[in-house]
Structure 1
Amino acid sequence: MNTQKPIPVRLDRHALIRLESDAPDGYLVGHVHARITISSEPDGLVLMDSRTDFRGGRARMTIRARDEAKPGRNATVTIFLLTAKNKTLNTKATLRFEAPEEADTSGKGERSKLKVPAPIAVYKAEWATHGWNEESVARVDDDGRETLVFVNMDNQHFTKFLRTSSYQETGVNRMKNNFLLYVAFYSWMKHMMDVREEGKLEGEDFEHYESAELDRVAQTVIHSISAASRSEDEVAGD
């Protein structure tokens, strides 16, 4: 974690913290005793909601303020990495709690803008954390305060697409970025529609529906980015 300024934490939202380490990919999943924990000073002001495993020397963590946190106050958060060799590494950062934004109820404010959550990439080494496998596509976590969108970058359709394509490194990176953004967007839109339609499908019926719809999302996105890439190649070859 490389930050000198206080990290803003709105009382009604999650805050994203990026961690850097020389830990190998999938370190937390591959070592039973390795884990990440946090504490705060004053005590008990923040919670860790989620975290990813390390990939490329980086991991992500989302935190949120407890009810005891007050706007305008600062706190120090300490993040601990307990290693597989029983060593404890830690880093600190200053948090600044901010008040929630009040909605404009006067009817004179600007038209509200659509805010799509930033997607979080999940790889095979992190599947166990999410209860995923190669068929999993994405998940939207919405607690009413903040929305997180997780995308399975090792989904079976996408890995097959990359394996059978002839893209160089630049093209592969472009395809990965497109897959992440498109799947996250359509998954989030589907989530918003499901919220509106809540109650029409329940239990196992809803799970089957959701799985099938997300699978179609993955295949549609792959077809779209593949077709777009072919068009670019044809233009470049003219």
Structure 2
Amino acid sequence: MNPHATMALSEPLDQSAEARVAAYDWQAISSELNGFGCGVLEKLLSAEECRRISALYTQEQHFRSHIHMARHGFGKGEYRYFKYPLPDLLGGLRTALYPHLADVANQWNGRMGIDERYPAEHAQFLRQCHDAGQTRPTPLLLQYVPGDFNCLHQDLYGDLAFPIQVAILLSEPGEDFTGGEFVLTEQRPRMQSRVEVVPLRQGDAVAFAVHNRPVQGTKGNYRVNLRHGVSRVRSGLRHTVGIIFHDAR
């Protein structure tokens, strides 16, 4: 049982977080992450689960802070950081996703010559964060209305930062909103930046590199720098939940 989770969604889970995460082809997802810096987990959440999580946005008791992006130059839109204990479904997914992504992260650090290795279990990694003074939870719920967008950025938050993040689209493109595509850019040394636009449907998740990832070149591995964002929402209402694996100061 995740010590940082509690049942905040009233309906029972359709399937445990651990079981649904284990059902994916993680070799294929790892290959996508290695090749393009991102990989999609289709239908991680049901439509009903997406609606229930989106409905939490107006319930302030679940959150520790409310951010308006324009005040900080982040773009236009808003988001709320969850507080501990997390909703059970989100806490469970955070715990279940972490070991699969830690394997990729450790491989990346080895290829980039970085000594740091991430522990096998998320609880161990959170203990490291808390020992370093990073105790505030980072999962967040984002809301966009027409004209809103999220500037290209990196979610780091402290000395300890996990290099892969997961975002889950809670709204249905073409029905709930238009525009608002998830965008990932990759800057390679002495080359022009490459852009990846990731098509997502309601309930789909994308795992993506937050900061750096290795790329195999003719003379060995080199690092590329990544940023992510969301293009302008043209109509409707768009909700996304972000699962960040490190805690913040």
CA radius of gyration, larger in: 1
Per residue, is there more helix in 1 or in 2? 1
TM-score by length of 1: 0.23
Q: Which has the higher contact order (CA 8 A, sep 6+)?
A: 2
